[in-house]
Amino acid sequence: MRTSRWLWICGIAVAWLLIASDSTLAQCAMCKAAIENSADAEAASKGLNLASLVLLAPPVALFSGLFGLIYRFRNIQGKAGHSSDKP
């Protein structure tokens, strides 16, 4: 039962990503058009690359911190469970 639930959830996630991908591909064309129409294309492309990295930093930091807390909490609970088994 767990395997079928996992496959069902993965299937829904993949379907959602395929449906949502049209709008993300449109953004790439908009960036390309902005670079092509600029007077200094090299500087514009460097600026867009930097902007992409800046926009990527907060989600990466958030997820890294969240996963770090989950991992730390999981280890604390595991240690507490083992100490209660001892007489």
Q: Which helix (H) or strand (E) is 62 found in, with range?
A: helix 41-85
Amino acid at 75: N
Mean pLDDT by 10 residues, the chain (87 residues): 81 83 66 82 84 89 91 72 53
For residue 29, the model assigns a pLDDT of 77
For residue 65, the model assigns a pLDDT of 93
For residue 59, the model assigns a pLDDT of 92
- Check: CB of residue 48 under 8 Å from CB of residue 38: no
For residue 62, the model assigns a pLDDT of 94
Residue 37 gets which letter from DSSP?
A: T
Question: Residue 28: which of 52, 53, 55 has the closest Cα?
Answer: 52
For residue 66, the model assigns a pLDDT of 93
Q: What is the pTM of this model?
A: 0.46
What's the CA gap between 14 and 8, in Å, rounded? Answer: 10
